[in-house]
Structure 1
Amino acid sequence: MRTVLLLLLCLFMWFKKSVAQPTLNTSDIFYEIFVRSFYDSNGDGIGDLNGITKKLDYLAELGITGIWITPVNPSPSYHKYDVTNYYDIDPEYGTLSDFKNFIIQAHRRNIKVVMDLVLNHTSVKHPWFLASGKNDPLYKDYYIWSSDTGITSKPNWFIAPQDSPILGTKQEKYFGFFSRGMPDLNFDNPKVRDELIKVGEWWLTNTGIDGFRLDAAQHIYESEKPAKNNEWWLQFTDSLKKIKPDVITIGEIWNRKSLVATYLKPLTGAFNFECSWNILRSLIMEKNDSLIENLLETYKIYSKYSNTYMDPVFLSNHDNNRVQSDLKDNIEKAKLAAAIYLTLPGTPFIYYGEELGMRGRKPDELIREPFLWDDQNQDPGETAWETPVYSIPDNVKPLTSQRDDASSMYNHYKKLLDLRKKINALSSSSLKNITTDSAKFLIYYRGQNKDQVIIIHNLSSSVLTLSLSELSHYPLLLYQSKQIKNKSSARLTLFPYSTVILGQK
């Protein structure tokens, strides 16, 4: 009996230790679509939902298993991050029927869909805000108003303009963290919380969507005091899980990892901004600046808050300069950036057009330029809502020109995404750093036991030779971005900005 009890105790301790390790969702590959710029189905020059539906086969062929679409709710702006109606689709993008069909067609191709949900604020043209500004007792406290000059003299407080239909007192100002046109909702009002929970529940119930990217998730309350933010998000996600237990909720939290980690209690995951910054810095410096050590430290901190989470890794998105431009249009460095983040743990999020090497620098419109489908605008679905400055055919080859070019950025991405699915180690959560005398190399193990592989990146503009005893145990060449110059049992010579993956027999 004593032996049995000891055995049970050992099993319990082993189980406890195993569940304490974070399990990352690494099997999916997401693709962010700025709807207006992707594909136009009706000839008005504006990308739309039916346009995305028409291009689902392209995304499936690329290897995409999840889509994040930027906001599609009615809005007066081109970007739609200032909502006027949470229960409809902006006519520029289509109808609710179009949206539901898009979800159905995506699911038939085993592609998940998450939509941008903007709950921190609305448009000044939202009926709630117009009623609030008229001192309607039902809606007055839906927003944050104050006549205390000690408060309202600070940034982000606004008085309604002279021509506004808002009839509130002139002494009062409203708070809008992002802009005058985006007044923040008052989450201290239980009615506001109930309204927004109903919004999330409605989209899950009526459209079959898989989840939400939660815009400005850290700004519900003060970003440096996340406890109240997380209390709200827990209330929100607990309600959604009653409808869809596996609902995906990904927070936008531009902050340090110790603060980001706190959001893993209520949310599925939060975008790993630090990882994207560290990858970019390593490539600009051409030096390994403790990238893997920092990532492992992130996992260690995350594990204090969640045993299971999604770690969305990315290079750029609709709010950042495109990675190709940040790397001064060095296509070899951009390919290396892709090889790094697509061989790390986590769930990759590819920004539309990144697979073509699209360029772009702020202002925001210029990092959201039309996707390049064909040469000389031969594809009628190519959007024309703005005149591109960076991503033009003279700078970036359109998709039709890249498909048959084995050395193109498109085929580079496609190979890496295929590898991520074929090599078991790349869809695992296992990561181990390998240090060398040269900071010009970035080297790490992925996977465990017989599945384990070594991934080696040359971060420099020079041909480099690596001497590493561990190489003798990994004789199989699984991938090379460029032809290896020389290889022996413990030595490897790599061309500039190249990647090699080695496996065991």
Structure 2
Amino acid sequence: MKKLKYYLMLLAGAVLLACGPGNKQTNEEVSLSLAPSALVFEDQDASHKFVTVTTSADWTASVPDSWVVLSKTSGQGNGSFSVSVKDNDTGNGRSSVITVKAGSKSETVTVAQGEELAQLVPAPAAFDGTKRSNTAYQLLVYSFADSDGDGWGDIKGVTQHLDYLDKLGVTALWLSPIHPSDSYHGYDVTDYFGIHPKLGTMDDFKELLAKAHEKGIEIYLDYVLNHSGKGHAWFKDAIADASSPYRDYYFISANPASDYKNFPMLTGTSYSAGEWKTVTSGSPHIKVTKTTENVTNGTATWNLWTWQDGGEGKFVQFVDKGDGTYYLVMDISGKWGMLVRKYNNWNAGSKFGAKNGGNITEGQEVELVGDGADMWFTGNGRYKIELTNVSTQTLYYMGCFSDWMPDLNYGDVSKAQDNACFKDMAASADQWIRMGVDGLRLDAVKHICGGLNSYNHASNRTLLTKWYEHCNATYQEAGHNGNIFMVAEAWEGHSVEKTYYQALTSCFEFDYGYKVRDMLNGGNASGFVSAVSSYVSDHTAQRPDAITSFFLSNHDQNRFASEVNKNVAREKQAAAILLSGPGKPFLYQGEELGYWGKKDGGDEYVRTPIRWTRGGALASAALGGKVDSSMLTDDMSVAAEDAAEGSMLNVYKTWSRLRNTYPALALGKMSQASVSGSSIAAWYMTEGDQKLLVIHNVANARKVVQVSDSMAKPLAVLGTASSSGTSLTLG
């Protein structure tokens, strides 16, 4: 039989002991506290020592061992009792625990005779340099680090700070979307094959890949399969021309209420009018030429909106020629912006601009599209502007999240691999995988086959299975061993989320973060270990190669620090819990520095830039001023926290180093440990012949627990921990 090596991590069995978070007491009718928490007697000791009871209720005291004598075993309200011991002739030290109960509350006092309470001093093994933590870091490229001083975070900024991430112990980076888009956050992609110019170049990205891989850090891209951006060339062409090959890449209809059921991908879901947005189909043409004709004063509803930088815009109405074409004559001096409107307003379906924007030249016929880009014309004199091909149609497209995020249509999901949109999306993923990308995070997967409120999980799983199989084949063809890492955002409760493992190897377990938050805020660990263990076992029941992805919070949620009321001790303990348990931990940018933030004023407030140095500049331009400067003080900078022993950053580094050092933490299986107490979360992490005991005290007070395992090899302590015999006191 294999012999297991035990360790205690106070917080755990190498002993990893992570001790009390110093929570504020919750509102309860009964309060109870004891002083002191430990009594020490000599072998022959006739003295009496006193325990003070502070409570608002009746109380009882008991002790399991007859060599400990209590002067009283009950009382009403505040009081005290004396403790004495019988002579110890055993030749060995001994200990016991007095338990005092008041209502539903209980507290303990350790009694030791012939031995001292020993402070546990961690002595972890030295890190051997092999990173095995399987820990990922969610990074917002636009607000992480600015390399060129323009205020935008960029890819080079990430590369320049790889040493920081390496010392943090992470083995992978999940990058926010890097593709071109019309928003700062990048989830409205306009080119899946490209890189947003604000973030850098393809060469910058290739450099990041190479240098990250040198440090044993993988790169995961955020991939948006549910929708593209409204500015994508596919969508513009699809709206402009009914015969466009891209028309079927989207859900487009003149009457979606009746046509909805004709889209195979929406089978099993229900129609929601609010998820269908209005757009005008058609492609008017405009041409500007020099003329000597008189300036016109048209009356048609079609009009030209024109403006100069810094000046107010004006509209000039076209003249209706009566043959379906229009024109106007006006004087132009300098550079003017231009848009065409069907009506004298900006209502949906009125605005037309160029497909790709930019300058237009005299005599050039420009094809316009609904909601197209600004055009610029520079002239000096009188010009005739002709408008032709003005036939348009009001259409609707599905955009469940926003009118600037049209949903993508993969057709019959059972044959998605043959669908043109799927093939183009897969080709874009192939490009990045062959370049060296190690994994993908898939956005909003439950909404792909359906909308915000009605979706078909079974169809989603069918589509995602085909997506994973395609990408994994490409990954292996590129020469990789093993499978590509792919994690999905299936933002659902565990009972639904776990079913997505039928399609993918990993999903984010949202219930985990809620569970940690509630445990720390409530000071009650009951059921935590069994819940977390069941998350993992439920996933592996779906597929043996499942990887459970745990996290505390992300870019779409209030930050975890805010969820625990900015209680620093709770934040630190949450970090230790995450890094001393099973699965694949994800850290969110700024979490390691104690950043807080709520979505109330906008998502930007939970997407805070990193302050690298005291007084240093921030990569905040993308956030439009929505930054909590009162939080980003010099003391919250990387430089300050790195130098401060016991800082949030150094807590993360410590526990990440332990996870990288001990295979039982990085790869181990979690199992319940027999350490009692409603405020105690205790578990073993076992891998091969290595077994660690993890104990967390989540109460707002010191706790004494009985531990049957050896406490001779403590690896880490968060807070204070002392032992006497089998008694362990966690402060």
TM-score, scaled relative to structure 1: 0.87
- Structure 1 residue 399 corresponds to structure 2 residue 638: yes
Alpha carbons 1:51, 1:381 under 8 Å: kept: no
Q: Give me the whole-angstrom Cα distance separating, in 1, the residues matched to 2:571 and 2:169.
A: 19
CA contact (8 A) 2:676 2:705 kept: no
Q: How do 1:5-404 residues align onto structure 2 when only pairs under 5 Å count? A: 27-137=133-243, 138-146=245-253, 147-149=255-257, 154-160=273-279, 161=348, 162-163=350-351, 165-166=369-370, 171-188=394-411, 190-205=419-434, 207-222=435-450, 225-245=456-476, 246-362=483-599, 363-377=602-616, 382-386=619-623, 387=625, 388-389=627-628, 392-394=631-633, 397-404=636-643
Report the Cα distance in structure 2 between the residues aligned to 1:287 and 1:384, rounded to whole angstroms. Answer: 42
Matched, 1:487 2:723: yes
Once the 2 structures are TM-superposed, how far is the Cα of residue 154 of structure 1 from its aligned partner?
2.5
User: Residues of 2 paired with 1:40 and 1:405: CA distance?
Assistant: 25
Q: Per-residue CA shift, 1:1-59, capped at 9, x if unaligned?
A: xxxxxxxxxxxxxxxxxxxxxxxx97411111111111001110000000000001111
Give, in angstroms, the shift of residue 196 of structure 1: 1.1
Cα deviation code 1:136-166 (max 9, x no counterpart): 3212111112314466663311112232533
The 8 Å contact of residues 218 and 229 in structure 1, kept in 2 or not, is answered as yes
For 2:654, the equivalent position in structure 1 comes to: 415
User: SS of the counterpart of 1:349?
Assistant: strand
The C-alpha deviation readout for 1:420-471, integer Å capped at 9, x for no partner, is 1222321223111235552111111111575212111111221111134x24
Report if the CA contact (8 A) 1:113-1:210 is conserved.
Answer: yes
Letter of the 1:221 partner, please give it. Answer: C
Task: Check 1:109–1:211 CA distance in 2 against 1; reply closer, same or farther (3 A cut).
Answer: same
Moved more, 169-178 or 75-84: 169-178
Q: Give yes or no for contact 2:132–2:660 (8 Å, CA) kept in 1.
A: no
In 1: Cα distance, 2:392 partner to 2:668 partner: 56
CA contact (8 A) 1:32 1:69 kept: yes
- The answer to whether the 8 Å contact 1:425/1:452 transfers is yes
Change (3 A) 1:304 1:88: same
Shift of 1:109: 1.1
Judge which range, 286-295 or 340-349, deviates more.
Answer: 286-295
> Which amino acid is the alignment partner of residue 516 of structure 2?
I
**Structure 1: any 5+ residue segments left out of the alignment?**
1-24, 496-505
Deviation of residue 329 (structure 1)?
0.8
- Does residue 465 (structure 1) correspond to residue 704 (structure 2)? The answer is yes
Matched residues, number: 465
Q: Is the 8 A contact 1:67 1:112 kept in 2?
A: yes
Q: In the alignment, residue 268 of structure 1 is paired with which amino acid?
A: T
Distance 1:410 1:26, change over 3 A: same
CA contact under 8 A between 2:173 and 2:219: conserved in structure 1? yes
The answer on whether the counterparts of 1:203 and 1:209 sit within 8 Å (CA) in structure 2 is: yes
Moved more, 448-457 or 281-290: 448-457
> Mean alpha-carbon deviation: is it higher for 231-240 or for 407-416?
231-240
CA contact (8 A) 2:137 2:588 kept: yes
Letter in 1 for 2:475: K
Shift of 1:391: 6.4
- Matched residue of 2:704: which SS? strand
Say which one has the larger Rg.
2
Per the alignment, in what secondary structure is the counterpart of residue 542 of structure 2?
A: coil
Q: Is the 8 A contact 2:136 2:172 kept in 1?
A: yes
How far did residue 73 of structure 1 move? 0.4
Shift of 1:354: 1.0
Per the alignment, residue 30 of structure 2 pairs with none
CA-atom RMSD, angstroms? 2.2
Distance 1:384 1:374 in 2: 18
Question: Aligned partners of 1:225, 1:46: CA distance in 2, in Å?
Answer: 38
SS of the residue 1:308 aligns to: coil
Name the residue aligned to 1:10: none
Partner residue of 1:20? none
Alpha-carbon distance between aligned partners in 1 of 2:705 and 2:406, rounded to the nearest angstrom: 56
Matched residue SS, 1:103: helix
In the aligned structure 2, how far is the partner of 1:220 from the partner of 1:397? 39
Question: CA separation in 1, counterparts of 2:250 and 2:485?
Answer: 28
Task: Provide the secondary structure at the position in 2 that maps to 1:187.
Answer: coil
Q: Counterpart of 1:442?
A: 681
**Cα distance between partner residues in 2 of 1:345 and 1:351:** 18
Distance 2:142 2:630 in 1: 15
Contact 1:314 1:341 in 2 (8 A): yes
Q: TM-score, normalised by structure 2?
A: 0.61
What do the CA deviations read for 1:45-93 (whole angstroms, capped 9, x no partner)?
0000000000011111111111000001000101010001111100000
Give the secondary structure class of the aligned counterpart of 1:267: coil
Structure 1 residues 26, 229: closer, same or farther in 2, change over 3 A? farther
Report the Cα offset of residue 491 of structure 1: 1.1
SS of the equivalent of 2:498 reads helix
Helix, strand or coil at the partner of 2:351: coil
Which one has more relative contact order, counting CA pairs under 8 Å at least 6 apart? 2
Which SS does the other structure have where 1:303 is aligned? helix
Q: Distance in 2 between matches of 1:34 and 1:41?
A: 14
| Paired AA for residue 392 in structure 1 | M
Contact 1:353 1:372 in 2 (8 A): no
User: Aligned letter for 2:474?
Assistant: I
Aligned equivalents of 1:450, 1:237: Cα separation in 2: 34
Matched AA of 2:681: L
Q: Which residue is 1:22 aligned to? A: none
Distance 1:153 1:224, change over 3 A: closer
Task: Report how far residue 489 of structure 1 moved.
Answer: 2.6
Cα separation, 1, equivalents of 2:457 and 2:674: 36
Structure 2 counterpart of 1:140, one-letter code: R
